Structure 1
Amino acid sequence: MAIKKLNIILFIAEIVLVIITVLVYYLANPINSSKVVYIPKGPINKIISYLEDKSFSLSGIDSYIVRFIGKPQSGWIDIGQKKLSRGDFLYKLTTAKAPLIEITLIPGETTTLFLKEVAEKLGLSYEKLKNEFFIQSPFKEGVILPETYHIPKGIDEKHLIYYLVNNSLKRHKEIANKIFGRYEQDKWFGKYITIASIIQKEAANEKEMPLISSVIYNRLKKGMPLQMDGALNYGDYSHTKITRKRIQSDLTRFNTYKFKGLPPYPVCNVSLSAIKAAVFPAKTEYLYFVKSGKKRHKFSKTYKNHINNIKSVKK
């Protein structure tokens, strides 16, 4: 009887030894990673599935291993190297946090100038950021939502753009669904965000935004060119003063003095207030406005009144 028990114990010990050997070998296998990894909030299975979707060679087995190590942290994780053992990678998911740098996109800024600022602040390549943005973003402008982002040191251009674009597109979808109950991406950006971007460039304050929006809609309805300087503040021209020479020389469809209708896509990144104004314009008959010099505009229904407003402003 004692010999039988001993044999059972030895058999179990052999099985345990085999399992430990396989596990050690499994954990020693190399895994490819980026230097920093974004981990969403949620249960371990969801986190592992998320990483699988991002091309990390993980499986359900790793979910069980992580449970013994600890709970994965959410947010940015500082992996520190691109190739390491599976065991080290899983351990770092539960222990490493990446140091963060704040970058702020202000409403009305163009993606071009924002990416230049980001490149300088994070020590990244502007050209790589720009190329990745054009690859990953469905539109050339207006996709990234203005706010303060906390970005980890060591992130590369591809992962940074993915984070900015992916999170912003989710927010755009949420906003559209809240307003309309549906999200039609082409119409959302081609119409509402494009109008919002002109409003963002033209309005002196948030209170004026629905009024500027009404002028845009009224002019479009009458088939009039928008004739708005803000549409020419695209790309590198974000802060350029619009002159008569610039209006005469710019041959793009952003020149709403030469071309009727909306620009081909948004001219800048926009705030929620500008989006709401683009969707819900004020009910007016205004067709014109001029800067009054008091951080606001004077609006008018007729060209005659508009000229009078211009004269009064110049006094």
Structure 2
Amino acid sequence: MKKNKLINLLILIAFISILGIKVSSDIKSPFKVKDGNFKFSVNEGDTLFNVVSKLKEKELIKNEFLFKVYIKNNNLNTNIKPGEYYLNSDTSIRNFVEMLNKGSKESTLLKVTIPEGYDIKQIAKLMEEKGIISSEEFINSCKKYKTPNYIKSSSKVKYALEGYLFPDTYEFNKNVTGKEIIDKMLNQFQLVVRNIEKESNKKIDDMQKIITIASIIEKEARVDEDRAKISSVIYNRLDKNMMLQVDATVLYALEEHKNKLTYDDLKIKSPYNTYVTNSLPPGPICSPGVESIKAALFPEKTNYVFYVLEDDKKHFFTNNYNDFLKAKERYKNINK
């Protein structure tokens, strides 16, 4: 009996010793890198634990649980910097974390500013021009992306994400994926919307309607003071069952940008063409900025149903058709 207990004790000690050696090994050499160095990227907004999980998905980490426990138990700095890094089989957990703390000498962040009023095709083209991602890959990523719950899905829209990729300045690594770009832009959109709701103490119940109206305002307004007035015209015309007759919606339907529309253009059969339908387009026609979203949410109280550009910036507003025609004739040279 005593002999059996001694054997069991020795087995237990041996097991603990082997386990200890294994744990120590996984701490000192936690990565499964076969040959040379492995290059990986940390994107703007990535967390340390998010990076660890990504490496685990690539089957480069031996023990993800131990890796994260070691970081927490040793109170390692979890603030990391974006960039491109290298690791090898000799990189320890501590060295790995410290490397990400200091930042990469090969940081290759690419900056891009998305102007307010850009649609997905324009955003895709700009992304390609900045060397971030090809236009085709970005558009395909938009098509494949799982539509968030706050966006109404419709077979009539060209792109489900149109209008929700918030226009702002972003920084991306050169090998960023389309999904990662979209994630970041949608996160920024949600942040902006939450801030607007918080500041105004008003919740946006119909996101699709508000962002669609905001996108039209973004395309039409030249100055901020006109945005709420243009918003009022849109709501007033919808209430009166009038067609919106907004040129920007026709251009979106045509999928081209031209200075002047023809009568044939105005007849194009499309749910986006507000010259042939008395409702809003099925979805946004571009990415609106903060001021346009606010204007869509809080239209000015007017009886205006017409407006025309009176100079290179401001619009003339009226509820009288004859006054509108006179103003249109008066200012027609502006729109040439």
TM-score band by shorter chain is 0.7 to 0.9
Match of 1:210 among 221, 228, 235: 228
Aligned counterpart, 1:146: 167
Residues 76/49 of structure 1: CA separation in 2 closer, same or farther (3 Å cut): closer
Structure-2-length-normalised TM-score: 0.74
Aligned counterpart, 1:93: 100
Aligned counterpart, 1:35: 40
- Secondary structure of 2:304's partner? coil
Using the alignment, how far apart are the partners of 2:166 and 2:314 within structure 1?
25
Using the alignment, how far apart are the partners of 2:262 and 2:89 within structure 1?
57
Q: String of CA shifts for 1:139-166, please: whole Å, max 9, x gaps.
A: 3311111111112233233322332233
Q: String of CA shifts for 1:114-153, please: whole Å, max 9, x gaps.
A: 1111123125222111111222263331111111111223
Check whether the contact 2:242–2:278 (CA below 8 A) recurs between aligned residues: yes
Give the 5 Å matches for 1:265-304.
Answer: 265-304=283-322
Check whether the contact 2:56–2:64 (CA below 8 A) recurs between aligned residues: no
Check whether the contact 1:136–1:165 (CA below 8 A) recurs between aligned residues: no
Aligned counterpart, 1:172: 193
- Secondary structure of 1:35's partner? strand
Which AA in structure 1 matches 2:179?
K
Give the 5 Å matches for 1:9-158.
Answer: 19-25=20-26, 27-30=29-32, 35-38=40-43, 40=45, 47-48=48-49, 52=53, 56=57, 59-66=64-71, 68=74, 70-79=76-85, 87=93, 90=97, 92-97=99-104, 98-136=107-145, 138=147, 139-158=160-179
Percent of paired sites with the same residue: 26
Q: String of CA shifts for 1:278-314, please: whole Å, max 9, x gaps.
A: 1111111111111113421111111111111122224
Check whether the contact 2:249–2:274 (CA below 8 A) recurs between aligned residues: yes
Check whether the contact 2:232–2:300 (CA below 8 A) recurs between aligned residues: yes
Which AA in structure 2 matches 1:65?
Y
- Secondary structure of 2:293's partner? helix
Check whether the contact 2:244–2:275 (CA below 8 A) recurs between aligned residues: yes
Tell me how far 1:65 sits from its aligned partner.
2.9
Aligned counterpart, 1:9: none
Select the structure that is richer in helix: 1
Using the alignment, how far apart are the partners of 1:54 and 1:178 within structure 2?
40
- Secondary structure of 2:186's partner? helix
Which AA in structure 2 matches 1:152?
N
Check whether the contact 2:216–2:285 (CA below 8 A) recurs between aligned residues: yes
CA RMSD of aligned residues (A): 3.7
2:162 maps to 1:162: no
Check whether the contact 1:37–1:77 (CA below 8 A) recurs between aligned residues: yes
- Unmatched 5+ stretches in structure 1: 1-11
Check whether the contact 1:70–1:94 (CA below 8 A) recurs between aligned residues: no
Q: String of CA shifts for 1:157-183, please: whole Å, max 9, x gaps.
A: 332233223343343344345445545
Using the alignment, how far apart are the partners of 1:136 and 1:205 within structure 2?
34
- Unmatched 5+ stretches in structure 2: 1-12, 148-159
Aligned counterpart, 1:313: 331
Check whether the contact 2:81–2:103 (CA below 8 A) recurs between aligned residues: no
Which AA in structure 2 matches 1:172?
V
Check whether the contact 2:81–2:100 (CA below 8 A) recurs between aligned residues: no
Using the alignment, how far apart are the partners of 1:84 and 1:303 within structure 2?
78
Which AA in structure 1 matches 2:109?
L
Check whether the contact 1:30–1:86 (CA below 8 A) recurs between aligned residues: no
